[in-house]
Structure 1
Amino acid sequence: MYKKIYFLIVLLISTSTLFSCLEAVKESQKVILESQKPALEGKFFPIESQGIRLFLPKEFKKLTKAEYLELVDETEDSLNVDIEKERLAKLYQSGHDIFLFQHTTSGSILSLVPTEYFKFNKADAQMLLNQIRYSHDQVNAQTGMLFNKQEARFFETKEAQIFKAIYKVIVPKNEFEFHKQVYFVSFNKKSFALTLETPFVVDFDPYLEKIRIL
């Protein structure tokens, strides 16, 4: 089962090349940064089939697979389009669902994929980190994108295990950069992988803490 989990993580955390072609405006930064204040604002997005309720800033909207593919097709880099479509195809072929959300003002993309329950430890987290590095090396070889790790850590409680990694992604040919956060969470006999790609640094931890797993 561990091999299946690692394979899934590689598919999920392989950077979506869609976001590298989107432009963020200063006003969109203000919207998300305001929502990071102590009085956290947002709303729940239920994923009823999985018993998961995501808490996100209210500017997010859920995307269907067709809507996301339309966004992918709008990008101008044919190589990036092909890579992203291949990644999604492999993910669906693996038998897993993917739930996609977009921040309407910044273009930020959040992806969540439920997995088989996987109670993991610090050693497993290190293996996940190695898989991410391997995946990034492959993307770099194909696209020239650079991945600078900003943070990586594992923490657990009596009930939950959480792996988190943050990267600054640089796209040299487009003179563009963005930030990617990767989470793998096991709690209440359920596990899921989550990625968030944003045009600027966002503290997503407070939102993660509000996720409800039934």
Structure 2
Amino acid sequence: MFLKYLKAIKVASLLLLIGMGTASCGELEKEITHWFASENTPDLPGNYHFLSDKGIKVYLPEDFKKYSLASYQELLKKNTPKNNYNYALERLSMLKKMEGSFYIFYDENSGSTFTVNTIAHFKFSREDASQLLGYIKLTNAQKEGEKKLNIKKLTAKYTGNSNQQIFKSIHSIENLKSKTNSYNTAYIISSNNNTVIMQLLTPMEVAFDAYIQKLKM
């Protein structure tokens, strides 16, 4: 079953979208620092968002709002340089075409995007995760020259047992043409007969695990 989704997951992890930069660097740092501070508090300020097709609930910082695909595309068009806009549309098209449902959440204060794909449940092993990482590395290497990007893996982790499997990776993406940077934190989680692929795209590296730990599947 994992091989059936390997190509789709690899595509979902290509990280072609570069941050839109709707706020100044100082404002971005302030907003995302607020996330870090929140992670250290017992109540972890945020809101649950219900994914209607599977009954899953994701927990996100308060500033994230749900967007339709059309609304998000319009947002991209207004705030993204033309070359980055084309990358963004390519990525959105790939994510939308994946089996299952697709959800988009956006924080306009930090220019951060959180996406969720809910797909048919499958279990995966450490070896499967390693194979996925190899595909991502190969494809990123191909895209670097084609798209004038510098993509670096910052971390990749797997943990799992017979009931739950989690894969997490963080990549930094530097657009050499537009001189912009972004970070993609990706999670693949299989639990309770559900599988989700989640990606957080930010203009700075962030720690987001505390929010993911509040996921209800």
TM-score, normalised via structure 2 length: 0.88
Paired with 2:14 and 2:115, the residues of 1 have a C-alpha distance of 11
**Residue 37 (structure 2) aligned to one of 21, 34, 39:** 34
Paired with 2:96 and 2:31, the residues of 1 have a C-alpha distance of 31
Partner in structure 2 of residue 7 of structure 1: 7
**Residue 47 (structure 2) aligned to one of 43, 46, 65:** 43
Partner in structure 1 of residue 17 of structure 2: 17
**Residue 175 (structure 2) aligned to one of 163, 171, 174:** 171
AA in 1 matched with 2:30 = E
Does the CA contact (< 8 Å) of 1:164 and 1:184 recur in 2? yes
- For the structure 1 residues 107 and 160, does the alpha-carbon distance in structure 2 shift closer, same or farther, using more than 3 Å as the test? same
Deviations 1:66-85 (A, max 9, x none): 11111222245433322332
Partner in structure 1 of residue 121 of structure 2: 117
Moved more, 89-98 or 64-73: 89-98
Partner in structure 2 of residue 79 of structure 1: 83
CA RMSD of superposed structures (Å): 2.0
Does the CA contact (< 8 Å) of 1:42 and 1:58 recur in 2? yes
Deviations 1:170-209 (A, max 9, x none): 2222322222111111001111111111122221111111
Deviations 1:30-81 (A, max 9, x none): 3222222132221111112111100111111111101111122224543332
- For the structure 1 residues 186 and 76, does the alpha-carbon distance in structure 2 shift closer, same or farther, using more than 3 Å as the test? closer
Deviations 1:115-159 (A, max 9, x none): 121100000000111122133223312221111111111111442
Does the CA contact (< 8 Å) of 2:186 and 2:200 recur in 1? yes
Question: SS of 1:38's equivalent?
Answer: coil
TM-score, normalised via structure 1 length: 0.89
- For the structure 1 residues 94 and 112, does the alpha-carbon distance in structure 2 shift closer, same or farther, using more than 3 Å as the test? closer
AA in 2 matched with 1:47 = L
Identity, % of aligned pairs?
Answer: 25
Does the CA contact (< 8 Å) of 2:64 and 2:107 recur in 1? yes
> How big is the shift at 1:11?
2.6
Does the CA contact (< 8 Å) of 2:20 and 2:111 recur in 1? no
Paired with 1:21 and 1:11, the residues of 2 have a C-alpha distance of 24
Does the CA contact (< 8 Å) of 2:20 and 2:79 recur in 1? no
- For the structure 1 residues 212 and 127, does the alpha-carbon distance in structure 2 shift closer, same or farther, using more than 3 Å as the test? same
> Which residues of 2 match residues 159-198 of structure 1 at below 5 A?
159-198=163-202
Does the CA contact (< 8 Å) of 1:63 and 1:101 recur in 2? yes
Moved more, 119-128 or 23-32: 23-32
- For the structure 1 residues 67 and 82, does the alpha-carbon distance in structure 2 shift closer, same or farther, using more than 3 Å as the test? same
- For the structure 1 residues 145 and 103, does the alpha-carbon distance in structure 2 shift closer, same or farther, using more than 3 Å as the test? same
- Aligned residue-pair number: 213
AA in 2 matched with 1:17 = L
Paired with 2:144 and 2:112, the residues of 1 have a C-alpha distance of 21
Partner in structure 2 of residue 154 of structure 1: 158
